[in-house]
Amino acid sequence: MTAHLAGRERELGEVHGWLRDPGGPRLVLVRGELGVGRTEFMHGVSERLRAEGVLVRVMGCVPGDGTRPFLLALRLVMVLEERRSAEALRAAGRGDGTAMAGLLRVALARSASVIVVLDDLQHADAESLALLGGTDFGRVPSRVRLMASAVGRGGRDGEESEEGPVIAEGRALRRPGAGVGAAVEGLAEVQGARTIVLPRLGPEQVIALVARQLGATPDTGLARRVHELTRGLPGAVDALLTAWSRQGAIRVADGYAFVGARTPTPVLPESDRFMRALDVLSEPRRAVAGALSILWPLGERVVALIAALVGLSVDEVRDAIRELIDAEIVEELMGSGGTAAEGWTFRVPLAAHAVRERLGPLERSRLSATAVRTLWADADTTVTASGATRSATPVLDDVDAVVYLADRIAEAGTLVERDRAVRELTAAAERLHPDSEGRGMLRWCRAAGHLVERPADRVPALQRYAVAAYFAGDFRTARTIAESILRDRPDILGRLELQETATLFTVATANALDWQALSRLATEQWWDELGLPVLAATTGRALALCLLARWREALDLLVRTEPVWSTDVRAAANPGCFRAAAELALGRPERFRRSLALPEAPHIGPDHAYTLTVAKFDELLNGGDLHAGETLLAAQGLAPQLLPRHSQFLRHHLRGEWDEALEPARWMLANNGIHTAAIDHYVVPARTAAILLARGRVTSARRLIDSARAEGEGPPEYSLDACEAELLRTLGDPTGAGKTLRRGLDAAEAHDQIAGTDELWAALAELLADAGRTAEAMTCLGRLEWIADRMDSGRSRLRYLLASARVLRPDSPVTAGENVREAVELARSRSQPFETAVTFVAAADTGGAPTTLLREAYELFGECGAVLERFHTRAALRAAGIAVPGRRQATVESEQLLATLIAEGLTNRQIAVVLRLSEDAVANRLSRLFARTGLRSRTEVVTAVLTGYGARGLGTEA
């Protein structure tokens, strides 16, 4: 089945059934609008029939066929008789319709068993269509069937040619007219005929289509953009994906496809079917379409506006719009009652974009300026008699209306009042902040910067542009603009604005992973050369030291310069945040906890308050404190969906919503944006790798860890070390795991870092205890207890309790049991499914808690999709004599896990280690997998996994 048939399974089965039913219709007419995929659908039906041994003959009509009377009828007679017919040739040549009708009836009656496919009847000659329309297909033998297609959704005359203008020998040929359209419509009414209309695809069907075409599942953002731009038309989907692929805009990570939020919409080429459908029309239709592509949100009044702009009468504009509707280029927008049109829009937004971009820049500016003046006039008018202000853009919702006006202002440029344009562009950017969907904040700030003329105003506008670029993920632009302001025009900005610019420049440098440049920013000399105020230089340098995890130096600098930056609330906001973070990293969390109230928020502006809130939220979730993080969001009135991707990932991860967590993680991986400014710079890739490992994606987790490690002197990678150690333990390499843990601890010690090292100490203590090295394990446990007391966090306390239970169990079973019981209660209170499940398994394993906790752990692992942990828990349940719930589902999960491990490239021996089975047991399981699914090799298993477990039932309940 071709990719374009995704979402057509029902229609495919229906038409196939009609054609195979002896009593079914003799003529099946397939209709559908331009780009709906009629030809692909007919091809799919034909392939299915051929696979069943049915003889299928295909005839395609092409532009120009309509100029040759009886051509289609002649070709049909010759196909049915399987030979050249001299009589038919003569009849067609002399235009003898009576003779051709008789020859066609005879050919249909005596033909051998065949299904003839007639594609694109809108290009056929009217005379042949009239013959077909006059044929009583009810009398045609059941062994002969016709399947025909034509553009259009039925019920109208004058359907447009899908192929666009007809050109032959340098001259335009006549287009199919109303006669052809009426003849096609008439075929649906003949005896023995049946019509099926292919609808547009829904959102889920578009996802399936994109997945088949790209060989990767589209993420939510890509799927949404494709559906919005194409309205579910397969031809438009194909054109869009082809253009993006050629531009290299589509990126794939972990089997998912992405486009960046700022990836521009491609412009369809002149050869595209949607462009040809417009080009076949003469002026003034094309001029009206161009104006409509920009002005359509203004509703019905676009008629008068276009008339004035193009130099036509109102009636001429209305006539042109009607022709565009008949050509299926635009459609009416109906009001809420569905009785009156509120305006017009293009059927395919992707085509509207192409039409708009084909206009010259001056024409786009002129049309946009008209839209802006119209909307501004609406805004300036008094309320109507009813007391309500008239909606300027009646066909758009509030957010879309903001985007539309701002885009038109940006494109109008100097043709509208500059000062008002700058004010409104700035207001629109602030309203959509942080604009995670890339709807225009960066574009509007850039336009505002270009419109400002006075240097005193231009530099602040450029600063806003740099901030917008940072939030849009364009770190290079943010860094370049910020540095140019600091170097060239620091005299324009005040001390607070320069401080913000220095902060922006430093964090953008870190997000670009330029550790060498960041090290230079950590020196006093670099900032002295700029001649900046001490506040800006100190703030930028302190942030650079924090981002390099040089916590002691950062804290010393901030303490020494406190009189400089503590002069007012705004000046102290960032340095105070850096100081709290440095003390937290050094094991002194008190100041950070006090800072969670954000007393400065009312005084620093919404953008700055948002940034501080996100930074503290990230630190809380980095430390595993989900409750405190969500309390912070609620206190600041920040909805979770407004968080940046890395923050959303951390939240979903701790909540056990791993499928939701992986979506932003994959996007960040595809766009090289996986690092954060939190104390743990590598928390996102580390926790993503942990998810992959818990799902049996061992090799994928290894690759992710390796790719996330920094080149050169960056901050310590202790979270990556902790995850890698767990991976090595899973693969049966405790020695390598121990070395990795010690490496992480050494790096943390070199940076005087305490926060986050509890994970390393706990893992090392358990590893040593398992190896019988009790004295060394006790030393690690002592260090872990000291950290837990000092950090006073739920996560560090929980890790200490579990590690102590494991280490103390042989010699102090009572203390170990008490610690286990406390750990269980603490884990329940923290409401983090995976952490809770791990705690329950550890508690049951130590013997200090009832084995019934395993049942709860099993369900919690299932909520997260932690199939590897769930597999081990099943084994523990059986060992404890507890029935495993859902035995059939358990079998399916085990089979899926085995297939995943094979797809990850693991040998039978490695799989045995990961699953804690013997090699013989693994071989037996693999044999059963092959026998049940019909797969014959490990290669076929890999293919089945990569294609969603294939069509043979891998991973499904038999």
**Ramachandran sector of residue 549 (left: φ over 0; alpha: ψ -120 to 50; beta: rest):** left
Q: Are 406 and 444 in contact (CB under 8 A)?
A: yes
Residue 137's closest CA among 172, 109, 164? 109
- Axis-axis angle for helices 349-358, 285-295 (nearest 10): 110
- Axis-axis angle for helices 220-230, 234-247 (nearest 10): 120
In this structure, what token pair is assigned to residue 686? 């580390």
Q: How many CB atoms lie within 10 A of CB 411?
A: 22
| DSSP calls for 485-503 | HHHH-TTTS-HHHHHHHHH
What's the half-sphere exposure (Cβ side, CA atoms, 13 Å) at 644?
23
Q: Are 617 and 679 in contact (CB under 8 A)?
A: no
Q: Which residues pair with 257 in a beta bridge?
A: 218, 252
DSSP at 546: H
Question: What's the CA gap between 640 and 126, in Å, rounded?
Answer: 61
Question: What's the CA gap between 507 and 30, in Å, rounded?
Answer: 58
Question: What's the CA gap between 420 and 376, in Å, rounded?
Answer: 10
In this structure, what token pair is assigned to residue 829? 């209170």
Q: With 0-12 CB in 10 A as exposed, 13-18 as middle and 19+ as buried, what is 195? A: middle
Indicate whether this model's pTM tops 0.85.
no
**Ramachandran sector of residue 248 (left: φ over 0; alpha: ψ -120 to 50; beta: rest):** left
Q: Are 908 and 926 in contact (CB under 8 A)?
A: yes
Question: What's the CA gap between 896 and 868, in Å, rounded?
Answer: 10
Q: How many CB atoms lie within 10 A of CB 412?
A: 23
Question: What's the CA gap between 227 and 208, in Å, rounded?
Answer: 12
Question: What's the CA gap between 463 and 469, in Å, rounded?
Answer: 10
Residue 294's closest CA among 236, 352, 361, 360? 352
What is the mean pLDDT for each group of 10 consecutive residues in the chain (958 residues)? 68 94 93 91 94 94 91 93 83 92 92 93 92 90 93 51 33 39 81 91 92 88 93 94 93 86 88 90 91 93 93 93 90 69 89 95 95 91 50 70 93 94 91 75 89 86 88 87 92 92 94 90 95 95 96 97 94 96 97 95 89 94 96 95 92 97 90 82 95 96 92 86 97 97 96 96 96 95 96 96 92 88 96 97 83 93 96 94 89 91 93 96 90 80 67 44
The DSSP element (H or E) to which 660 belongs, if any, is helix 658-670
Place of tokens 């005084």: 603
Predicted local distance difference test score (pLDDT) of residue 178: 44
**Ramachandran sector of residue 168 (left: φ over 0; alpha: ψ -120 to 50; beta: rest):** beta
Task: Identify whether 640 is preceded by a cis peptide bond (ω within 30 of 0).
Answer: no
Signed CA dihedral, 210, 216, 218, 222: sign only: negative
Question: What's the CA gap between 361 and 412, in Å, rounded?
Answer: 10
